[in-house]
Every structure is written in structure tokens, then in C-alpha cells.
Chains A and B, each alone.
Chain A
Amino acid sequence: MAVRVQIPTPMRQHAEGKAVVEVAGETVQAVLNDLVAKYPALKERIFQDGKVRQFVNLYLEDEDVRYLDGMATPVKDGQELAVIPAVAGG
């Protein structure tokens, strides 16, 4: 099954320059595991001590996964997961 992952500009150099990559997985965690298996340089940029970094936000179909089931959130075939830096505003 294929899930599309949006890669933010500053991380694209570690994903063959791609804006979107296709990976597999049935949960957010599994999708990210597959992503970093394919592009190992992304691993330390997304994770720290096995957890998603403080300033990395994840959105499944535009919804923040923290408001779903976090890393255990189920992911369906064809859905899109966006990796986006946390940005303050005002």
C-alpha cells in the first residue's frame, strides 16, 4: 500500500530532492519508519531518541496527528502525511 509523504523544502536534499515520496505503512509510526529506512539521512532530522522532534509536526490529510491517535493513528492507502516544521505565529 502507498502513502504519500510531503517533505518540507529543507529536508528534500536528504530525499533525492523530492517534494513528495511514496512509502508504506498502516500507522503514522510505520509510515515514518519506512520513510527513514528509505532515506536514512532523514532519521536524525525527524526523530530524537526514538521520538518525533519537538519542532516537527505531522499532519495526516491536513489534521494534526496529535489530535488523532498520535503515532498510532491508522493510515489508509492513498492518504497524505505532511511533515512540517512547527512555526509560531500571531
Chain B
Amino acid sequence: MPSPFVRGLKCRLCGKGYPVEPLNFCTEDFGPLEVDYDYGAIRAALRGADFRDRPNSMWRYRELLPLDGEPTVGKQVGGTPLVRADNLAKELGVKRLWVKNDAVNFPTLSFKDRVVAVALSKAKEFGFDTVGCASTGNLANSVAANAAAAGLKSYIFVPADLERAKILNTSVYGAKVICVRGTYDQVNRLCTQVAFKYGWGLVNINLRPFYAEGSKTMGYEIAEALGWRTPQHVVVPMAGGSLIGKIHKAFHELHEVGLLADPSCKIYGAQAAGCSPITTGLKAGMEQHKPVRRPNTICKSLAIGDPADGYFAIKVMKETGGWGEDVSDAELSEGMALLARTEGIFAETAGGVAVAVARKLIEQGRIPRDEEIVLCVTGNGLKTQDAVGDILEAPAEIGPSLDEVEAIVEGAREPALV
């Protein structure tokens, strides 16, 4: 039974309609396809819905996700905490700050579990037995783990210079991992060719229209946790530039189906200076991102030099009255350490980017100090430990002697962060 809430797919550029099929771009102009919903039907179905009865996972919003049947993969994904971050707020000199913490998403500790849950559930509906992706790491982990649980074979393509932890965290699930000597963009291009050649379900290629919808649930959860309203400002890390658009879409959809009175929210994109095609394009007043041939940053999860959603990301930042910034590797490492030290949240490099960019935007006066801000943390620091290794003080080593403890407690030591 096809979903009563999905009309089909449609081109984001020319609007041409397509049936629900594993296809990600328009055959007329190559524009990306997205799911075309019947919001009137969803609104009617949600009238009087009691969200207290729904599961504490991303599937509590299932009318707004493009599956025909019940989810079969990633049933426990989502429902991550929105943490009130008063200690970090004090450090940044702002009044009301929250962290949306997808570093503890299940099962692979990043927001990618959301998109993969939709993509692989859809892959099963289409009847694929082999799935895969091009990835900068987090997606690789998530596809491998969720495919294993779903009994699907997986081929995962990553740049060969990825963090070892992200490769191990993919291989362990029995996935076929293919390390490509090249940049992410080269891996992505290769995967597009692979998708044409083999009959596989590549989650961020031919399953992309469905996959990308999973990101919206991060936005739904933020709004619901605030009592069905939006914050005034959201800071979102940008790699391919998809998530930022989906958070925006999430707020507008909730409004459209009657769950949110006012969807307005200023949305800010965050990148690493060593790979900032989108913020560079935005700051230069361009409509399009400015491609980066050789990304050079420790933030590998955001190292996409030619993000195909760059155009849409720039549009969202401009239209909502937000902005974008980029930060150096040193600043993002400090951002990671600051978040950990103030809130007890160990985010990966991209989380450090969100914190450091927020700080920069606050200092620039672009984000007012007395308004509500949400920072999106999309991945876990345990996967990118090297990024803070150099800036943390090494632990003290002593004999089993109380005197030696006393020397430390008496203040012979520097504070934890140098």
C-alpha cells in the first residue's frame, strides 16, 4: 500500500513529477528530486494526535516521512536530548542556549542514523539486497551498522585518508569498505557512476530523495522539545549542505500541518575554514557555493569541496535572515574542548565547528546575546579524538601515595585546558 501522504517525487528546479522510485535527479535538467507530500492529508491525519502516545524516536513523526509501511530499519533512531546549555551560554556571553545532541544518536552516534533509517527502510520496500554510500565517515558507520541489522549487504566508499576510527567503525559491521585514493568529491562522483552500473541502493545517491528526509526529524525534535515552537536562531554544521535545508523545511512543515504556529527561525551555517565552499560563496554574495578542489581541515566529516546542496543552503541562510561562518582547525578544536568542559558533551570535529562558529557570530553581533539559540551537534567526539589530543593536558602520573595527591590538589597543576 503506497503511503497516503506521498504524491510522488518532484524536481526541486523545474517541478516535474515522478513516481516513487529509486531516482535522485530530474531527467530533464538534472535538478535534485524531493518527496512531494500531500500536506492537507497529513494535517487531517494529525488533527487531535496525542504525541504522548508516540514512540520516543524519529518515527513519532512518521506521517512526514516517505515510507509506505512501518519502518523496518532503525526503529530506535532519534529522540536525542535537547540539552539546556547554561554553562556554555555563560562562556559565550548569551542568555538562552541549547545543544541538540545527536552525538548520542543510536546506533552509531551521529545524525546520519536518521537518514539511514529512512533510506534503508525504503531500500527494503524497493526490494534491494545490496546497499551502500559515499561517505566522509559518519554515514559509512551508520549504513554499515543498520545494513547489518537489516540483513542487507553493503558497499561503503570512503576517502582513503579518513580517520582510522571511522574506518574501523564501518568494517566491524561486516561491510565491504572501499577506500578511494582521492577527495570525498571524487568518491562521490565514482559512486554516482557505480549507481548507474550496478543495481544497488546507494543511500545518498539513488535513494537520496528518501534519505535526505530523515534529517528533518532533528528539526521536529527541536521544535517539540521547546514546546512546539522554534528557537530564534539555529546553528547547523554544513558538509553537503543538506541538513541545514531540512531543519528549515522541518519547521515549515510543522507549521503547514498545524503543529507549529510560527515557523520563523534564523538559520546559520557552519564550516571549517579549510573547506568552506558554502560560507565562502555566501560571504562573496554568490548564489552558488565556490568549489574547493583540495579540502584541508581536520574536520573530515565536513570536508566536501563541491556540495551539491550548496545553492539551497545559501538560499536558506539568506532567506531566513541567518548567516554563515567558518573557523580554523585551532578554533574548532577549542570549540570541542569548550563544549566538553562546560556541558559534558564530547562532540566530534563538526560539533566543534558549530560551537566555534556560534562564538564568532555572537562576537560579530550577528546573533544577539539575549535571544534563543540552538546548536546542532551531529556526531560523537570518540570518533575524532585526535582533534583534541594536542590541546588537552596529559594526566598526572604518581605513585600510590597520598602526599603526591596532596601536591596536586594543593594547586601545583595548571587548569585542565591550556
If A45-B30, A55-B30, A90-B304 touch, does A85 touch B288 (CB 8 Å cutoff)?
no
If A55-B308, A64-B306, A67-B293 touch, does A87 touch B188 (CB 8 Å cutoff)?
yes
Which stretch, B38-46, B132-140, B262-270, B392-400, touches the partner chain A?
B132-140
If A8-B196, A10-B25, A57-B189 touch, does A88 touch B208 (CB 8 Å cutoff)?
yes
Count residues of chain A with CB under 8 A from any CB of chain B.
26
B185 and A64 contacting across the interface, CB-CB below 8 Å: yes
Residue-by-residue, is A50-82 near B (CB-CB < 8 Å gives 1, otherwise 0)?
000111110100101011000000000000001
CB-defined contacts of B13 to chain A, threshold 8 Å? 54-55
CB-defined contacts of A86 to chain B, threshold 8 Å? 30, 306, 308
Which stretch, B88-96, B167-175, B234-242, touches the partner chain A?
B234-242
A87 and B291 contacting across the interface, CB-CB below 8 Å: no
B240 and A62 contacting across the interface, CB-CB below 8 Å: no
Q: How far is the CA of A82 from the CA of B288 in the complex (A)?
A: 22
B193 and A82 contacting across the interface, CB-CB below 8 Å: yes
CB-defined contacts of A45 to chain B, threshold 8 Å? 27-30
A85 and B239 contacting across the interface, CB-CB below 8 Å: no
Q: How far is the CA of A9 from the CA of B194 in the complex (A)?
A: 11
A90 and B112 contacting across the interface, CB-CB below 8 Å: yes
Residue-by-residue, is B340-353 near A (CB-CB < 8 Å gives 1, otherwise 0)?
00000000000000
**Any chain A CB within 8 A of the CB of B232?**
no
* Min C-beta distance of A47 to chain B, whole Å: 10
A89 and B30 contacting across the interface, CB-CB below 8 Å: no
A89 and B25 contacting across the interface, CB-CB below 8 Å: no
A89 and B186 contacting across the interface, CB-CB below 8 Å: no
CB-defined contacts of A54 to chain B, threshold 8 Å? 13, 31, 288, 311
If A53-B29, A55-B30, A64-B306 touch, does A90 touch B189 (CB 8 Å cutoff)?
no
**Any chain B CB within 8 A of the CB of A15?**
no
B189 and A84 contacting across the interface, CB-CB below 8 Å: yes
**Any chain A CB within 8 A of the CB of B74?**
no
CB-defined contacts of B112 to chain A, threshold 8 Å? 90
CB-defined contacts of B308 to chain A, threshold 8 Å? 55, 86-89
Selected contact of B291 from candidates A64, A82, A84, A90, CB within 8 Å: A64
CB-defined contacts of A44 to chain B, threshold 8 Å? 28
Residue-by-residue, is A22-66 near B (CB-CB < 8 Å gives 1, otherwise 0)?
000000000000000000000011001000011111010010101
Residue-by-residue, is B166-203 near A (CB-CB < 8 Å gives 1, otherwise 0)?
00000000000000000011111101110010000000
* Min C-beta distance of B276 to chain A, whole Å: 16
A55 and B136 contacting across the interface, CB-CB below 8 Å: no
* Min C-beta distance of B416 to chain A, whole Å: 33
Q: How far is the CA of A66 from the CA of B240 in the complex (A)?
A: 18
If A55-B13, A57-B189, A88-B32 touch, does A11 touch B27 (CB 8 Å cutoff)?
yes
A53 and B30 contacting across the interface, CB-CB below 8 Å: yes
User: What residue in chain B is nearest A46 (Cβ atoms)?
Assistant: B30
CB-defined contacts of A64 to chain B, threshold 8 Å? 185, 189, 291, 293, 306
Selected contact of B204 from candidates A6, A48, A84, A88, CB within 8 Å: A88
With a 10 A CB-CB cut-off, give which of B25, B112, B134, B291 has the most chain A CB atoms. Answer: B25
B29 and A90 contacting across the interface, CB-CB below 8 Å: no
CB-defined contacts of B36 to chain A, threshold 8 Å? none
Q: How far is the CA of A11 from the CA of B115 in the complex (A)?
A: 28
* Min C-beta distance of A8 to chain B, whole Å: 6
Chain B positions 5-33 with a Cβ under 8 Å from a chain A Cβ: 13, 23-25, 27-32
* Min C-beta distance of B244 to chain A, whole Å: 11
A87 and B27 contacting across the interface, CB-CB below 8 Å: no
Assuming A64-B293, A85-B25, A89-B136, what are 7 further A-B pairs, CB within 8 angstroms? Answer: A54-B13, A54-B31, A88-B309, A89-B184, A89-B307, A90-B115, A90-B304
Q: List 16 A-B contacts (CB under 8 A).
A: A8-B196, A10-B23, A45-B27, A54-B31, A55-B308, A64-B291, A64-B293, A67-B291, A84-B189, A85-B25, A86-B30, A88-B204, A88-B208, A89-B134, A90-B139, A90-B242
Q: Which 3 A-B pairs have the closest CB atoms?
A: A88-B308, A88-B240, A10-B27
B interface vs A, CB < 8 Å?
Answer: 13, 23-25, 27-32, 112, 115, 133-136, 138-139, 184-189, 191-193, 196, 204-205, 208, 239-243, 288, 291, 293, 304, 306-309, 311
